[in-house]
Structure 1
Amino acid sequence: MSAGFPDPALGPVRVSEIRQAARAGAAARPVRPLPRVTDRRMPGPAGAPDVPVRVYEPAADPGSPPPVVVFLHGGGWVLCGLDTHDGICRELAFHAGAVVVSVDYRRAPEHRFPSAAEDAYAVTAWVSAHAALLGCDAGRLAVAGDSSGGNLAAAVTLMARDRGGPDIAAQLLAYPVLDHRMETASYSAYGTGFFHTTAHMRWYWEQYLGPGGDGSHPYASPGLAPDLAGLPPAVVVLPECDPLRDDGLRYAGRLREAGAAPRLRVWPGVFHGFLGLGGLLPEADEALTGAARALRAALASR
């Protein structure tokens, strides 16, 4: 994986080059059949274009409408999209028993912060307000994401709290990006040699924030939010060998102190992005299945 992926530490990286490498390197997860998968568009923020989404529907439960999960894909706010995370979303829909709405938010550097966060929030708010049109239970709405998508999911929970809604019942954060400063010990211990490097993370932040961008804003760096009170219960999945690991541990600890009751699991011996290797890496299958079931349990308690 590392051999085929541009490394900013070795010289300048072009956005087109790294996007092509990400598409070429996406794991071919076995396709989980679902009753219906539909591409559509949902309203974006005021003055912005509609946002492409992909809606995954699980097998119907005649007893009650299913919960709904708004999913934000990773890729450093620069890479990836609906297709690269299609397999993850299918597994999440199947094991969580939820309708999953995967969001193709605007990407950097063409669209800097807060474009992606505002797209994510706009779709989440629309899904909450129109859950009946999707056949979902608005009272059991969750946000989820991996890496930079975990950053956006965490940001959406803060935005929803600060803006008076929508009501988010749970959050799933897989190796989320939480702090632009990159100062923890894991950024040094796992900064090279484990696919996703500290140099990659620095380059992604540069693309997302742009010159003079405010990385300390809590919607950019949720780990720097001064207060985490009032946030929904969290499922947090972290790999051991990840530069971002310590930020995730710290955030989970702060969520616990704030009463968000996180369910934390650190997976030994694996690396950032490992959930994308379902069907190839047994730990990826086990971790995603377990996280989806934990999210299902969190939503069932509502």
Structure 2
Amino acid sequence: MTSVSRRGALLLPLGLAAFASACAPQDPTMMMPADPSGRADPEQRALLETLQRLNPRPIEALSAAEARRQPSYADAVKVRARELANTNPGRVIGSFEDITISTLPAPLRARLYRPIVAHSRPLPLIVYFHGGGWVIADIETYDFSARALSRLSEALVLSVHYRQGPEFRFPTAHDDANAAYAWAVRNAASLGADPGRIAVAGESAGGNLALNTAILARDTRLPLPRAVAAIYPVAGVDLNTPSYQQFANAKPLNRPAIEWFVRNYTRGPQDLQDPRLDLVGKADLAGLPPVVLVNAEIDPLASDGQRLAEKLRAAGVPVAHRLYPGVTHEFFGADAVLTRAREAQEFVGAEMQRIFAAPAAATAPAPAGRRPMRRPAM
């Protein structure tokens, strides 16, 4: 987003009066449209207008601590739902509880969601990683998504909060995700889950963590997850793809925000060469379990989603991929106010149920010398 001071500088040739006018206090809602793309459907546009009324500052102008305190997209969903008098009965689940999982080198906070089911058999388990660019947000911010996954997949969902930058830089969040998955594999039965039916899921930065967790499981002696649900995952490091160019100023996620996340999580430019961040460019994706992939049209990450789907298919990985028009990054958890969010949640839930119901596929061991053997922190 262009700052007021920069606007003033651009208007200097028009004279001092224009410069003074540009620098005068303005209603933030008048500085840029709620939907800079002009492509949001009516429901999404109304939600973006609600977010704009909460007056979040451009994240690139904030410290990480400030960014964590300001209104979020999830806050806008809650406000918009109240305006519509929508209590969203579709999010009803059996129960949830906050727990601490005993991972190393640090214990991690988690929330366990239980669906309402008509039997007492062990349930599938989904280990879920929230978004936030590895810097902001937490379990509560993404509570809506985890509830929907639990209800529609008829599975337990373990939503894990990992350590974040800039306090803990790359690859800390990735290591924490690996440790959380290893913990879930060891403790599935004690949670009431079926150890043979564990999947991973995540949104945005969390989608990247979910994919990398599956890669680590493939490369080690951990059981491979039955599936990966990746919701608009961070999958590449090229900020000049078609969607980055088309939606450079989109809301709630745009190119300046992504650059800010990268600065706050990575240790330097060398980290962008790591296959864990550049999945579409450098990662080996062969041998992964089925991937359920969701993308939003109005999102700088949309092109990387298409590239990821193509690379997975070329590697022989089954992929169910849908791109939802008229909605933005972060739309998945907004089922209280967005029809497209409900459609996407139902798509992911149905795919997860289908995969959990199918016989487990035999996984061939990796050829000797092909992949490094990395043991996760337990």
TM-score by length of structure 1 reads 0.93
The separation in 2 between residues aligned to 1:263 and 1:102, in whole angstroms, is 23
The separation in 2 between residues aligned to 1:202 and 1:238, in whole angstroms, is 20
Shift of residue 190, structure 1, vs aligned partner: 0.9
Q: 1:70 to 1:15 in 2, by over 3 A?
A: same
**Partner in structure 2 of residue 33 of structure 1:** 92
Q: Which has the larger radius of gyration?
A: 2
SS in 2 for 1:264: strand
One-letter amino acid of the structure 2 residue matched with residue 19 of structure 1 = R
SS in 1 for 2:271: coil
The separation in 2 between residues aligned to 1:218 and 1:138, in whole angstroms, is 29
Contact 2:127 2:199 in 1 (8 A): yes
1:47-196 matches, within 5 Å, as: 48-62=105-119, 64-196=121-253
The separation in 2 between residues aligned to 1:294 and 1:282, in whole angstroms, is 19
**Partner in structure 2 of residue 288 of structure 1:** 345
Shift of residue 193, structure 1, vs aligned partner: 3.3
Shift of residue 213, structure 1, vs aligned partner: 4.8
Structure 1 segments, 4+ long, off by >4 Å, are 22-25
**Partner in structure 1 of residue 63 of structure 2:** 14
Shift of residue 53, structure 1, vs aligned partner: 0.4
**Partner in structure 1 of residue 101 of structure 2:** 42
Shift of residue 222, structure 1, vs aligned partner: 2.3
The separation in 2 between residues aligned to 1:293 and 1:279, in whole angstroms, is 19
Report the number of matched residues. Answer: 298
**Partner in structure 1 of residue 22 of structure 2:** none
* Alignment deviations for residues 56-106 of structure 1 (CA, whole Å, 9 cap, x no partner): 011245373211000000011111111111111111101000000000111
The separation in 2 between residues aligned to 1:65 and 1:25, in whole angstroms, is 32
Whether 2:56 is the aligned partner of 1:5: answer yes
Q: 1:147 to 1:87 in 2, by over 3 A?
A: same
SS in 2 for 1:186: helix
The separation in 1 between residues aligned to 2:305 and 2:314, in whole angstroms, is 14
The separation in 2 between residues aligned to 1:224 and 1:43, in whole angstroms, is 34
Contact 2:218 2:288 in 1 (8 A): yes
Shift of residue 143, structure 1, vs aligned partner: 0.5
Mark the runs of 5 or more structure 2 residues left unpaired by the alignment: 1-47, 82-87, 361-378
Contact 1:155 1:218 in 2 (8 A): no
* Alignment deviations for residues 270-291 of structure 1 (CA, whole Å, 9 cap, x no partner): 1111113221111112211221
The separation in 2 between residues aligned to 1:271 and 1:34, in whole angstroms, is 26
* Alignment deviations for residues 166-219 of structure 1 (CA, whole Å, 9 cap, x no partner): 321100011000112323111001111343101111110111103355122122
